[in-house]
Structure 1
Amino acid sequence: MSGVVPTAPEQPTGEMENQTISPTAVSDVPPDYNSHFVPGPGGPAAPTPAGLPMGYNIPQHPGAIPLYHPTGGAHPIQYQPGKYPMTNQPAPVMWMPGPTPMPSCPPGLEYLAQLDNIHVLQHFEPLELITGFETNNRYDIKNNIDQMVYIVTEDTDDYTRNAYRNLRPFVLRVTDCLGREIMTMQRPFRCTCCCFCCSCARQELEVQCPPGVTIGFVAEHWNLCRATYSIQNQKKENVMRVNSLDGASNIGSIIRKWNGFLSTMGDADHFEIRFPLDLDVTMKAMIFGTCFLIDFMYFERTPTRRSSR
């Protein structure tokens, strides 16, 4: 593709001189100095390509690599783009192809309508491991073929994160490949000093899609032996129940998977969420939100503090 560069119209000689006058005068005589450089013998000149007159410059496209003329060679060597890739370049992020809009589906949830499972991959934060300073959590949401579906980022201030740790209230923002916030998850602060059977001590998560429009809640239920949650609609009416694995028939699951060294040394969890392909897309979003409440309550570990000795 050839580009056309606009040129300035030809102006009279007087006007051109007025525009090119420099604020400081430059002498035509080069400065007098002693040089210790001794020129060597001149090398052989590069051969001129056939069919071009002397002094003809070969035009090249912007960004093209110059031609290399080896000594004594008859043909120039040109390095083809992509043949020798540049190093230290980040790998490109492969996103899941954008689906077509669906009627009666919140914008951005069309991805979930095409999936029956997703992977939640938490970023490893070396700063937390080294200093014990809690940073905002970040997650990559991917499908089975390692394509990115969403990015989830925590939006909590430094004091709240480090004062309350895994009990902190938080806001999670879910964005798509275009950077649009398509979902927001909010967890209010609940005092744990009260009795566990008291409703004011039970954890809760609100899911909004799009942001500002509540589609449901995830509410914790008190149970002496196992974790139990209810997935509720906008009116806080129970729609589904989430229990610890007990062998009963389930329509979906949230599985925490072993993440190797990252799971051992820091908070870098890996969850796999499974649900039926034909499940209502809002219910898929609610199960998706339940995963984050479970992660913060049970797997957001407080870094061990070093002893003063």
Structure 2
Amino acid sequence: MSGVVPTAPEKPAEEGENRVEAPDPRPDNPPNYKSHCVQGPPGPAVPPPASCPGGLPMRFYSPQQPSTFPLYQPTSGIDPIQYQPGKHPMPNQSAPITWMPGPTLMPNCPPGLECLAQLDNIHVLQHFEPLEKVTGFETNNRYDIKNDLDQMVYIVTEDTDDFTRNSYRTLRPFVLRVTDCGGREIMTMQRPFRCTCCCFCCPSARQELEVQCPPGVTIGFVAEHWNLCRAVYSIQNEKKENVLGVRGPCSTYGCGSDSVFEVISLDGVSNIGSIVRKWNGLLSAMGDADHFEIHFPLDLDVKMKAVIFGACFLIDFMYFERPHHNVHQDRSRQ
């Protein structure tokens, strides 16, 4: 009996046949899902981080590895939204302002005048101030400078104190600051005070405008000449040498028609360009919201273009800036 090794008791055959095995939780084949994602272009190769020397498995996302799927996939027929430089909404305006694209730097061109060098005509649009018409209080003038495509080129703002504006009115000395789409002051125009008590033929009574670009660097002058019948100006360089002339109409207060100031050569034969004050109906007759259109040759020296541009504002203040009536005088006449 000592040489017999005990063995485990055998199970009945019926018990092994009726045994049910548990199902395998892993499916044989993965289900076929239809993905709605669109495969994008492969991203740039990124080396694996130092924490994972073996690299990352495929399709594994981590903050160090950019995703291979694009963040935005535009649908067919719809253009993506593009934000153009210089196009931004302005305060108190419902529609955004579209600026003229800024050109590259040009040789022999003062900084900021690159846009003016590529134009042969510009529009000067004065802002209408309803409060000024109601109260009679003179405010600083503001102008929008646009091209033929209705794109903004510059913004011109008057910088004069309240006492000077309301005391001297149309004869006031002023400073006009010209800014571009980035808010930089690229040009300054200064009109000194001239005494009008003297005779009109006296040189001290003639109006003058200095154009600086950049501010502090004089590039030209606009000088008035005495004439009995019409407005006459000279376009001068920084040395006050006459380069061009401006000849106005015999009557600048015409109703129902444009007022044309011709830009002519020194001999008076060639017509170089023009400064036209457009007639805009009742808005021109009742409100200080003038519209000027300036024409000059495309290949004209950009400095002379800037001086002609400044002559437009001197003409506006001298002939089309309507003085307000004194309220006390109006009451005394009643």
Shift of 1:262: 2.2
1:92 paired residue number: 96
Contact 1:169 1:186 in 2 (8 A): yes
Rounded Cα–Cα distance in structure 2 between residues aligned with 1:89 and 1:170: 27
Structure-2 residue corresponding to 1:51:
none
- Kept after mapping to 2: 8 A contact 1:215/1:234: yes
- The equivalent of 2:34 in structure 1 is none
Contact kept in structure 1, 2:211 and 2:220, CA below 8 Å: yes
CA distance in 1 between counterparts of 2:213 and 2:325 reads: 37
Of all paired residues, the percent bearing the same amino acid is 82
**Which blocks of at least 5 consecutive residues in structure 1 are unaligned?**
1-80, 82-87
Partner of 1:191: 195
Give the counterpart letter for 1:130 in structure 2: V
Q: Which runs of 4+ in 1 moved over 4 A?
A: 245-248
Distance, in Å, in 2 between the alignment partners of 1:189 and 1:277 is: 33
Aligned residue for 1:42?
Answer: none
Task: Indicate the SS of the match to 1:216.
Answer: strand
Q: Which amino acid in structure 2 is aligned with residue 112 of structure 1?
A: L
Alignment check: 8 A CA contact 1:129 1:265 kept: no
- 1:285 equivalent in structure 2: 306
Q: 2:127 aligns with which of 101, 115, 123?
A: 123
Task: Name the SS for the 2:272 alignment partner.
Answer: coil
Aligned position for 2:283? 262
Q: Is the 2:195–2:205 contact (alpha carbons within 8 Å) kept by the matching residues of 1? A: yes
* 2:237 equivalent to 1:233: yes
What is the letter of the counterpart of residue 285 of structure 2? Answer: T
Alignment map for 1:1-309 (pairs within 5 Å): 90-245=94-249, 249-306=270-327, 307-308=330-331, 309=334
Report SS of the residue matched to 2:170. helix
Question: TM-score scaled by structure 2?
Answer: 0.65
Moved more, 134-143 or 242-251: 242-251
SS across alignment from 1:252: strand
Per-residue Cα deviation, 1:216-239 (whole angstroms, up to 9, x for no partner): 110000011111001111111111
Q: Deviations over 1:78-115 (max 9, x none)?
A: xxx9xxxxxx9621001000111101100110001110
| d(CA) in 1 for partners of 2:280, 2:325 | 20
Is the CA contact 1:183–1:207 (under 8 Å) kept in the aligned structure 2? yes
For residues 110 and 288 of structure 1, what CA distance do their matches in structure 2 show? 14
| Cα displacement (A) at 1:303 | 1.6
Larger Rg: 2
Determine helix, strand or coil for the equivalent of 1:251. strand
- Over the aligned positions, Cα root-mean-square deviation in angstroms equals 1.7
Shift of 1:266: 1.4
Aligned-residue offset at 1:248: 5.6
User: Secondary structure of 2:156's match?
Assistant: strand
Per the alignment, in what secondary structure is the counterpart of residue 310 of structure 2? helix
**Separation (CA, whole Å) in 2 of partners of 1:237 and 1:211:** 21
Whole-Å Cα distance in 2 between the matches of residues 304 and 248 of structure 1? Answer: 41
The 3-state SS of whatever aligns with 1:239 is strand
Show CA shifts across 1:260-291 (max 9, x none): 33212211000000001111111110100000
Counterpart CA distance in 2 for 1:90 and 1:104 is 39
Opposite residue 193 of structure 2, the aligned amino acid is F
Q: Distance in 1 between matches of 2:123 and 2:269?
A: 23
CA drift at 1:244: 1.9
Task: Give structure 2 stretches of 5+ with no counterpart.
Answer: 1-80, 82-91, 250-261, 263-267
Report if the CA contact (8 A) 1:259-1:268 is conserved.
Answer: no
Measure how far apart 1:187 and its partner are: 0.1
State how far apart, in whole Å, the 2-side matches of 1:201 and 1:127 are: 32
Identify if the C-alpha distance between structure 1 residues 263 and 290 changes in structure 2 by more than 3 Å, giving closer, same or farther.
same
